[in-house]
Amino acid sequence: MSAITRGPTLTSTAITHYGEWNSESRAIPALAFFEKYDAVVQSCDFSGPFHDWFAPSAHFFVNTGVTYHSGAEIWEWMKSPALFGTYSKLVPENRISTVILGGHEKGDRLIHQQDMVFFAREGEGKEVGIPVRRTIEFVSGPSEVVGQGVDGLQYFVGKTFWDTNVLTKELARRAAL
């Protein structure tokens, strides 16, 4: 077994925002960027280009053990039935907290926790939402390619920490009714 390489200990400042977006959260670039990204995800409209949100070199680590290795791969996965393609809209509830930690080599690390209610496309869920607690993590920084990104930012790393089986099982249960 090889030795574990130890990195330096970093001290950074954390910014914590509780609840819904407001003028204070919008004054912090990483939070304002996440709010705009969150609005796109909630609408389930992934018709725009991946590079508005994800850098070409971005990586996304899914709680199932799958890793996507480019912004283009991440965007295709997001709009597929494997993730948001099955749903007509998402409605946030109980936005618990969003924490920004500086010190990542690419920029700011954002950790967000909330309940999200998933609404299946018409006929697939009888328009009753499925609530799921989710935690997601992103690292955002200056756009990798000039002219890409939103407000000059893109995501370089993404991670999910939520039980997607809750959605799968509930959709199957409803289909059997």
CA distances from 95 to 21, 41, 62, 80 (A): 9, 15, 21, 25
The mean-pLDDT minimum among 5-9, 16-20, 26-30 falls in 5-9
Does 9 fall in a domain? no
Digit-coded pLDDT (tens) for 151-172: 999 999 999 998 888 888 887 8
Does 156 fall in a domain? yes
Does 51 fall in a domain? yes
Does 3 fall in a domain? no
Does 8 fall in a domain? no
Does 157 fall in a domain? yes
Q: How many domains does the chain have?
A: 1
Q: What is the pLDDT of residue 81?
A: 85
Residue 126 pLDDT greater than 60, yes or no:
no
Q: What is the pLDDT of residue 145?
A: 96
Residue 1 pLDDT greater than 80, yes or no:
no
Average pLDDT, the chain: 88
Does 110 fall in a domain? yes
Query: What global pTM score does this model have?
Result: 0.86
Does 64 fall in a domain? yes
Determine the structural domain holding residue 106 and report its residue range: 14-175
Contacts of 88 by beta carbon, 8 Å cutoff, 6+ apart: 44, 119, 120, 121, 122
Assign residue 116 the CATH number of its domain: 3.10.450.50
pLDDT band, residue 125 (cuts 50/70/90): very low
Q: What is the pLDDT of residue 62?
A: 92
